[in-house]
Amino acid sequence: MTTGLGAMLPPVRGRLEFAVGLGAQTWFGVGGPAEALLRPADADDLSGFLSKLPPELPVITLGKASNLIIRDGGLPGVVIRLARGFSEIVVEADGVVCGAACLDMTVAEHAAAAGLRGLEFLAGIPGSIGGAVAMNAGAYGAEITDVLDWAEIVNRSGEFLRLPVEALGLGYRRSSLPEGAVVVRVRLRGEPADPAIPRARIAEIRAAREASQPTRARTGGSTFRNPDPAQSPLKAWQLVDQAGCRGLRVGGAQVSEKHCNFLLNTADATAADIEALGEEVCRRVADSSGIDLHWEIKRIGVPGRLAGVPA
């Protein structure tokens, strides 16, 4: 990691810390430190910081880290996390405008309370709106691209841009946001309805998620993308199960026995354990079915120690 980083960073009104552990801030509960961690006060603070930041310094933005493995060696450069100054929700007649730090679930609930339907699927996606846009998150038959009008970003040079959905290159669990850009605010469309309708749908989604997923465990959500139907009619979890990986362990990491497209930190797993377990699952699935699984969970940072041997 870079030495003397503090002297290279411009002043901010928000909070700037160094050598901050990130493991406890991720859903998996693993990972090394951020060399520098910035929580900007608001979008103007973020813009001013990025406009003066030396271009050679690496910058990465973290949301709620619900679909992320931060490797044990941590993240060099500057990590940005949006907080209070990016959490406003404004309800309009046919949609909501919300800050990127808003929880997906919170946006779904606000829309439902205002009598807007179409955003209920967000109740089934752990994480924040900014991250949902960056990966075109989806669940229960809908995804962000279906409801997004525009996203406001601050690019790596500190410029504000409002990009229509067509400019974001949204595809299956991906976007084409400019390199280093930070989503700060978005507009999502809704359809006026009796509030009881979206509220009932949110309740259904919550119940389905609780019944089928290890929601109370330290996990990162769906680990692998479903294969192209032209390759296989089976979902990723079915391929993992058929390969005999349900309950498979590496160190403190385990394939969930409840839903085997979820990896768990059972107690004392490292990021290396979890990543190695995922790679072992991919190998076994390829051997048994000929299908190459692809990670849906993002893996970032500097590798740490080597993992153990699959149990």
Domains of the chain by residue range: 5-84, 88-211
Residue 58: per-residue pLDDT: 93
- pTM, two decimals, is 0.91
pLDDT-derived band at 6 (thresholds 50, 70, 90) equals confident
φ, ψ at 233 (rounded to 5°) = -80, -10
Q: Which of 43, 45, 37, 58 is nearest to 14 (CA)?
A: 45
What is the distance between the alpha carbons of residues 92 and 185, in angstroms, rounded to a whole number? 15
pLDDT-derived band at 305 (thresholds 50, 70, 90) equals low
pLDDT-derived band at 172 (thresholds 50, 70, 90) equals confident
The CATH code that applies to domain 88-211 is 3.30.465.10
Distances (CA, A) of 255 to 89, 210, 250, 260: 37, 17, 9, 6
Neighbours of 194 (CB within 10 A): 10
- CB-based contact 109:69 (threshold 8 Å): no
What is the distance between the alpha carbons of residues 37 and 79, in angstroms, rounded to a whole number? 5
Task: Tell me the fold of 5-84.
Answer: 3.30.43
Q: Chain-wide mean pLDDT for the chain?
A: 94
Q: Which residues are the active-site residues?
A: 173, 222, 296
- CB-based contact 253:267 (threshold 8 Å): no
